[in-house]
Amino acid sequence: MTLQQPTSFLDHRLAAFFAPNNPELAQIIKQLSRALSEGHSCIQLDADQQTIIRNNPSEAWVLDDDLLYFSRYHQYETQLAQQLKRKAAPTEPLGLDAQSLHALFNDPLQQQAAELALTKQLALITGGPGTGKTTTVVKILALLMQQHPHATFALAAPTGKAAMRLQESIANSKAQLTDLFPADLLDKIPHQVSTLHRLLGARPLTPEFKHHAENPLSHDVLVVDEASMIDLALMSKLVNALKPNAKLILLGDKDQLTSVESGAVLSDCYRALADNRVELQTTYRFNEQIKKLAHAVNQQDAEKVLILCKEAEKADSQAVIGLKNVQKASELSGFIQRHYRAYFDQVTQVQTEQDILALFQTFNQFKILSATREGEFGLSAFNQLAQPGLVTTQWYAGRPVMIDKNDPSTGLYNGDIGLCLPNIHAPNSDQLKVYFLLADQLRAFVPSRLPSHQTAFAMTIHKSQGSEFAHVMIALGNQLNSQTESLVTKELLYTAITRAKSQVTLVASDSVVKQCVSNAIERHSGLARRLT
C-alpha cells in the first residue's frame, strides 16, 4: 500500500520502542503506525515482511493472514465482524402484505428498504442527499410500532450537528405523514436524537462507555444517521452495546468522506452485506445543478465538473458559482461580509429564546468550508475575515463556536454549535452567554465554562458532515502543496458540495479541481473480508 505522508516523529518513536535493534521490524512498525494515522486499520505485508513479524511476536500487534494490525484494532475489527454477521443473518416475517406496503411507498427502492428493515436485525439504507432516507425511516418506525407496540426506540447520530439535523428532518417527515398514520402513533416516534457518545454514556478521561455487552442499551430498535462518519472503534463499541435481538438501522451516504479515525465501516459493510443493503437513488429535494455537479465529482469526471461550472456561469445561475482566479483569501472579504450581514443584523435584535432559535436558522444559511485548518485558504483565515471589523476581544455578540472535544461533565460534545449572545435573562448587563440547541432545548453557558472549542464561521469539510446549509462556499484555493494534496479528494469535494441545499460557490483553480476529483480515498481494512 502507498502511504500519503512520510513517517512522523511519533512513528519513529514507536518503532524505536518496539524494535530498537531490528531495522527491518522497525520499518514495518513505522508503516503500521503511519497507516493508522491515515485512517487504515491495518497494512498488507508481503511474504518477507510476514516472516519478520512471525519471528518477532508481540502482544502489541497481530498478524492475521497477510494483514498486520495493532492488537486493539484487530480486536475491534474481529468483534465488529462477528456481531454484524450475527445480526445480518436472521430473517423475521414481514408482517404486512405487499399491497399495503406498496401503498405507503411510491418508490420501489424505498419499499425495498422498508422490507429489509422490517425483516432483518441489520439494515443499511444508503443514498445521496434528498433521496428520502429520513422519510423512509419514519415510515419504517411507524410500521414497527404498529407491529411491536411495546418496543423501545432510539435515534442517534455521530455529532451534535448531525443529531440536530436528523431531529429536524424527523419532525418534518412526521408532519407530512399525518394522512398515512394515526397522530397518536406518529407522536410515539422519538422526537429527540442523541449523539452516539451521549447514547452510550461517555465517561470523562476514558475511552470506555457506560453501556457495553455486560450493560447493554435497553432499546429494541436503534436508528443511526450519518453512519459514514463512524470509525471502527466507535462502531465496534456501539454494536457491542446492543441487546442480542435489537434491530440496527444504519443510514448514510457511502460516497461521503470516511471517518476521521481508522476504518471505512459503512462502505465495507455496503460491499460485503449485499442482503442487508438498499441504496436509494431518486432525488426529491436537491437542486438539479448541484446534483449534477456532485454526480460528476463522484464519477471522477473532472472535465464534466469544469463544464458544469462554466455552463452555470454563462447561464447566470445562482446554484453553482465558480471562482477560479482567487489568489488570496483576503480577496473574498467583501463576499464573506455580505453573506454574514443578515446574521449580524439579527444578532442585535435578540431578546427571547424564539429569537435565538430564529438566529440559528439564519446562521445556517451560509457556511465557509475549507479543506484545512491553517494556510492561505484554511479555516483560521476565513474565521478572521468573517468576524466584524471592530472586534478587539475574544468573546463578542455573534461569535459562533464549535466544540471540538467531548465533555460529558457539561453535556457538550464534538461538533456541537453555540452562538455567543447577550444574556437574554439579564438584558441590562454586559454579560455574554453561549447558547446551544441540544435535544430541542436551548442551554446557556458562560464562555469560561466551555470545553475546547473554535470559532465556527468556517469549518473544515470533515467537520461539516451531518450539516446542511442553504449556501456553501468551498475554499480549495488556486494550488495544492505537499500537505494539502493528499487531503483533497473526490470524497472531500463530494461531501462539501452535498452540504448545500440551493447554492455552491467553488473557490478553486481548474488544476486543483482536476487533482481533487482524480484523487480517491482508499482505506485498508479486513472488515469486508471478514463479513463475506
Say if residue 388 carries a ligand binding annotation: no
- Report the alpha-carbon distance of residue 362 to residue 400 in Å, rounded: 12
Q: Which helix (H) or strand (E) holds 268?
A: helix 265-272
pLDDT at 344: 96
- Report the alpha-carbon distance of residue 488 to residue 484 in Å, rounded: 6
Identify whether the C-beta of residue 222 lies closer than 8 Å to the C-beta of residue 249: yes
Q: What nine digits make up the cell of 250? A: 444504519
Give this prediction's pTM.
0.89
Question: Helix 108-119 to helix 133-147 angle, to the nearest 10 degrees?
Answer: 40
Say if residue 334 carries a ligand binding annotation: no
Number of residues that this document lists for the chain? 532
Q: Which helix (H) or strand (E) holds 227?
A: none
What is the chain's pLDDT, residue by residue, as a tens digit (532 residues)?
556 667 888 999 999 999 999 999 999 999 999 999 999 999 999 999 999 999 999 999 999 999 999 999 999 999 999 999 999 988 888 877 778 888 899 899 999 999 999 999 999 999 998 899 999 999 999 999 999 999 999 999 998 888 888 998 999 999 999 999 999 999 999 988 999 999 999 888 788 999 999 999 999 999 999 999 999 999 999 999 999 999 999 999 999 998 888 999 999 999 999 999 999 998 887 788 899 999 999 999 999 999 988 887 666 667 888 888 899 999 999 999 999 999 999 999 999 999 999 999 999 999 999 998 888 899 999 999 999 877 789 999 999 999 988 888 898 888 889 999 999 999 888 899 999 988 678 999 999 999 999 999 999 999 998 888 999 999 998 888 777 777 899 999 999 999 999 999 999 999 999 999 999 988 999 999 999 8
Query: For residue 186, how many C-alpha atoms fall within 13 Å in the half-sphere facing its CB?
Result: 17
Say if residue 367 carries a ligand binding annotation: no
Q: What nine digits make up the cell of 442? A: 436551548
Say if residue 108 carries a ligand binding annotation: no
- Report the alpha-carbon distance of residue 524 to residue 522 in Å, rounded: 7
pLDDT at 295: 93
Report the relative pairing of strands 247-252 and 221-224 from DSSP bridges. parallel
Q: Which domains does the chain have, with CATH numbers?
A: 9-70 (no CATH), 89-285 (3.40.50.300), 288-387+457-518 (3.40.50.300)
- Report the alpha-carbon distance of residue 322 to residue 306 in Å, rounded: 9
pLDDT at 315: 64
pLDDT at 3: 63
Question: Helix 160-175 to helix 133-147 angle, to the nearest 10 degrees?
Answer: 70
Say if residue 389 carries a ligand binding annotation: no
Q: Which helix (H) or strand (E) holds 155?
A: strand 153-157
Q: What nine digits make up the cell of 479? A: 494550488
Q: Which helix (H) or strand (E) holds 1?
A: none
SS3 177: coil
Q: What is the DSSP string of 246-264?
A: -EEEEEE-TTS---SSS--
Task: Give the angle subtended at the CA of 32 by the CAs of 28 and 34, to the nearest 5°.
Answer: 115
Q: Which amino acid is at 414?
A: N
**Residue 95: Cβ within 10 Å count:** 12
- Report the alpha-carbon distance of residue 408 to residue 214 in Å, rounded: 21
Q: What is the DSSP string of 433-477?
A: EEEEEETTEEEEE-GGG--SEEE-SEEEHHHHTT--EEEEEEEEE
Say if residue 85 carries a ligand binding annotation: no
Q: With 0-12 CB in 10 A as exposed, 13-18 as middle and 19+ as buried, what is 405?
A: exposed
- Report the alpha-carbon distance of residue 38 to residue 315 in Å, rounded: 41
pLDDT at 2: 58
- Report the alpha-carbon distance of residue 452 to residue 446 in Å, rounded: 14
Long-range contacts of 385-392 (CB under 8 A, 24+ apart): 385/329, 385/330, 385/332, 385/333, 385/336, 385/337, 386/336, 386/337, 386/340, 386/457, 386/458, 387/455, 387/457, 388/344
- Report the alpha-carbon distance of residue 109 to residue 79 in Å, rounded: 31
Say if residue 455 carries a ligand binding annotation: no
What is the largest distance, in Å, between two alpha-carbon atoms of the chain?
A: 74
- Report the alpha-carbon distance of residue 353 to residue 516 in Å, rounded: 42
Q: Which amino acid is at 271?
A: R
Identify whether the C-beta of residue 260 lies closer than 8 Å to the C-beta of residue 289: no
Say if residue 411 carries a ligand binding annotation: no
Identify whether the C-beta of residue 242 lies closer than 8 Å to the C-beta of residue 250: no
pLDDT at 405: 86
Report the relative pairing of strands 153-157 and 122-127 from DSSP bridges. unpaired
Gap between the terminal Cα atoms of the chain: 22
